[in-house]
Amino acid sequence: VRGSFPARSWHDDRFREGYAEAFGGPIRARLVELGNRIEAAWYDFDSAWNAALCRRVRAVASVPVLCEGGVRERGEMVRLLGDACDAAGMARPFYAEPELPARLLGTDTSEETRAVCESCNNCAVPQVTGATGVCRTPSVLARAGTLRK
């Protein structure tokens, strides 16, 4: 887990049984939670954290290379293209902002244009239970809502 520890998702009772089933029991689920907590503390959130690897792959591969992983700003995508990769991607920010591509590629071409995603990981963890990937962070949803108005 890069970014914040997803406490909201781990402590949501709606997913507790699903975590136990997905991870092989409640004790193992707690161990995975502990692992997430350690990873969140150990690894700083580093936008485009795998860009160096993408550069190395791109130097030897004869196929297009996609760089993703913490990319949240338009300017960052522009900087990655042609340097570290042939395509730059985002995933989790779309849970809060389905219209994000229009905003990133729209008339506001400022490099500071960024997703409202806080990289809190509350969207990702419940997916192991079969839950739909959605943003579960009220502050992010509130900011995304103001953009839609």
Reported as a single tens digit per residue, the pLDDT across 53-98 is 999 999 999 999 999 999 999 889 999 999 999 999 999 999 999 9
What pLDDT score was predicted for residue 104? Answer: 85
What pLDDT score was predicted for residue 24? Answer: 97
- pLDDT tens digits, one per residue of 4-51: 899 999 999 999 999 999 999 999 999 999 999 999 999 888 889 999
| Other residues' Cβ atoms within 10 Å of the Cβ of residue 31 | 13
Query: How far is it, in rounded angstroms, from Cα 92 to Cα 97?
Result: 9
Beta strands 87-88 and 66-67, pairing class: parallel
Domain boundaries, the chain: 46-118
pLDDT band at 112; cut points 50, 70, 90: confident
Q: Report CA-CA distances (Å) from 77 to 52, 62, 67, 110.
A: 14, 21, 9, 12
